[in-house]
Structure 1
Amino acid sequence: MKIVGVYLAAGNSTRMGTHKLALPIGTMSLGSLALETALKSPLDEVYVIIKDTDDMEWIPSHMKAHAKCSIIQCPTSNEGLSESLRYGIQHAREHLADGVLVMLADQPFITVQMLSEMITCMSEKPPCKFVATTSEQAITPPVLFSSSMYPDLLKLHGDKGARAILQSDFLQQGTFLNCNDKRLVFDIDTREDYETLKVLE
């Protein structure tokens, strides 16, 4: 079973007021933390979806050169979150991936164990259409989708993310893995979030 990661890193950082993925966290950049996790995980490939204006300085050179890593520019990223997601899904479909693990570049505390458990869960339940993370009873990234859901994901438009699909009848066709540690799914949107992150690291 070929499972690839779609690493969404094409956001506008509007609420942060600066390119948040380039913000320093220790010796690394914010955006490189979860990417390092993805590259260390059992994922077969990782597609990093960026804006076509991104200078990519936030991505360390050894990650860019990693055998699993593919950098994909999304020229229509300004049209909404779904654009970069669909770019990743299309790439996965063209490369015959059996599933796509959707990750956010601003969730720095995602762990290899979390990703491994999701991949194992899907491989052990072939009819399963998705494996979603939940925290405090809410669905949150990362989410793993089987290839059977590519057509539905490719229909998303605007600022709708993959989570939008999981509000419908599909809820009964997947598996939910609860994350007891809310810190692991913490995402960084604002300056306050960033200051909190620096305390948590």
Structure 2
Amino acid sequence: MTGIIILAAGSSSRMGKAKQNLLFRGQTLLQNAINTAFGSHSDIIAVVLGANALNISSTIGTSNIQVFVNEDWALGMGTSISYGLKELLKIQPEISSVLFMLTDQPLVDQNFINQLIEKATPGKIVASAYNNTLGPPVLFDNSFFDDLLKMRGNEGAKKILQKYSNAVVELPFPEGAFDVDTPDDYDRLVNS
């Protein structure tokens, strides 16, 4: 059983407004991520909100998703990772793997998410490979849940990828290098 957690708690400081609500192909970036997750072979989907939670939650538009609000979002992404997983396990304690997605990677599609899920193996992490690095979307087997639940501050999951580098399965995804952090990034996205 695979759960997907969409991390959408950040304040979008470099964008100057909530990038989760920016429009792309007739929907918000967050809706795009949610629809991608719903089109995949996952069993349960959650979104972690934080900054601008009220404004963003009103755009989610589906009741088939778990919405968690991380009150400690300002302390960094690590808190959203650990909080999201903790809350998801309360609802679905038998999940065997969790996949983390970001709202600002609009080129992630359901086929790629399904490839990550299909590569899930006990004791392994399946990570996207782009720009000579590993990153999200990334899927963790439940043997890594304790490490994820201990995450704090600004540390992302890359720390766990480095710690368990021998357990990482790389899946090439050059499109993962494009994310929407600044107004220029967004202009490139909508004009491409």
Q: Same fold (TM over 0.5)?
A: yes
State the match for 1:112 in structure 2: 110
Amino acid at match of 1:34: A
Q: Tell me how far 1:137 sits from its aligned partner.
A: 2.3
1:18 aligns with 2:43: no
State the match for 2:186 in structure 1: 194
Q: Tell me how far 1:48 sits from its aligned partner.
A: 0.4
1:40 aligns with 2:35: no
| Separation in 2, partners of 1:167, 1:199 | 36
RMSD across aligned positions (CA): 1.6
Contact 1:111 1:184 (C-alpha < 8 Å) held by counterparts: no
| Separation in 1, partners of 2:97, 2:25 | 33
| Separation in 2, partners of 1:175, 1:92 | 24
Contact 1:93 1:150 (C-alpha < 8 Å) held by counterparts: no
Match of 2:165 among 160, 166, 171: 171
Aligned residue for 1:195, secondary structure, equals helix
Q: Percent identity?
A: 30
Q: 1:62-97 CA deviation, whole Å, 9 max, x = no partner?
A: xx223xx11111111111111111111112333221
- What TM-score does the superposition give when structure 2 sets the normalisation length? 0.91
| Separation in 1, partners of 2:170, 2:186 | 28
Structure 1 residue runs of 5 or longer lacking an equivalent are: none
Aligned residue for 1:165, secondary structure, equals helix
Q: Tell me how far 1:35 sits from its aligned partner.
A: 1.4
| Separation in 2, partners of 1:50, 1:100 | 17
| Separation in 2, partners of 1:184, 1:29 | 18
Matches within 5 A, 1:1-201: 2-51=1-50, 53-55=52-54, 56=56, 59-61=59-61, 64-66=62-64, 69-94=65-90, 95-96=92-93, 97-122=95-120, 125-126=121-122, 128-168=123-163, 170-179=164-173, 182-200=174-192
Amino acid at match of 2:132: Q
- What TM-score does the superposition give when structure 1 sets the normalisation length? 0.88
| Separation in 2, partners of 1:177, 1:82 | 23
| Separation in 1, partners of 2:25, 2:97 | 33
Aligned residue for 2:150, secondary structure, equals coil
Aligned residue for 2:53, secondary structure, equals coil
